[in-house]
Amino acid sequence: MMISEELLAYSMQHSTAEDELLADISRQTHLKVLKPRMLSGPLQGKLLEMLVRISGAKRVLEIGTYTGYATICMARGLGDKGRIVSLDINEELETMVRNFFSRSGLAEKIDYRIGNALDLLPQIKEPFDFVFIDADKRNYVNYYDSVVGEMKPGGLILADNILWSGKVLAENRKKLDKDTAAILAFNERVRQDPRVENVVLPIRDGIMLVRKL
């Protein structure tokens, strides 16, 4: 987290509050699932929903479903004919996640697939106009390269955790581990890609917002 607990609380108090379902997803995730800090949470979730809505995205891809919080937020931002494909490798969470999707009333908009994203992506033929990457950090560059070339101008890519608890700065780490190295490589890959423009948003653990030119 890049800001104080007090400023985070203030930000949440002055943003649209999460509803009962999202609050329950957060509660159940903290009670039953490892690494609950991976949950998107209300600020990031609302940002994703609003960006999907504002952009008018019709085809959304999510790489890394986790417990479905962000998936539901993005699905809420879709128009009547919009659809989100969400990929996750953790089959142990599938029953819980599908139950959340059913409760949301948006299950018909969510194509939830279990498996390795790099294996599943070649099976998806239609290009996406909005992509959210929030899965294993060591494959961020691979995920990015798999989708950016197929996107139309104006398409958006968001990648989570790109500040990596501050470890992107050498002064905040004792050694360069593989996950940190992967995040650094991804950030540099995007920065040098002439096909896109980008901005780093210091929200929670950092979000990279990328727009296809």
For residue 4, the model assigns a pLDDT of 84
Are 91 and 65 in contact by the 8 Å Cβ rule? The answer is no
**Weakly modelled stretches of the chain, pLDDT under 70:** 1-2
For residue 3, the model assigns a pLDDT of 76
List the CATH number of the domain containing 49. Answer: 3.40.50.150
For residue 56, the model assigns a pLDDT of 97
Using a 10 angstrom Cβ sphere, with 0-12 exposed, 13-18 middle and 19 or more buried, the burial of residue 7 is exposed
Q: How many domains, the chain?
A: 1
Using a CB cutoff of 8 Å and minimum separation of 24, what contacts does 30-38 make? 32/96, 33/66, 33/67, 33/93, 33/96, 38/66, 38/134
For residue 110, the model assigns a pLDDT of 98
pTM, to two decimals: 0.96
For residue 2, the model assigns a pLDDT of 65
For residue 37, the model assigns a pLDDT of 86
Domain membership of residue 63 as a residue range:
5-212
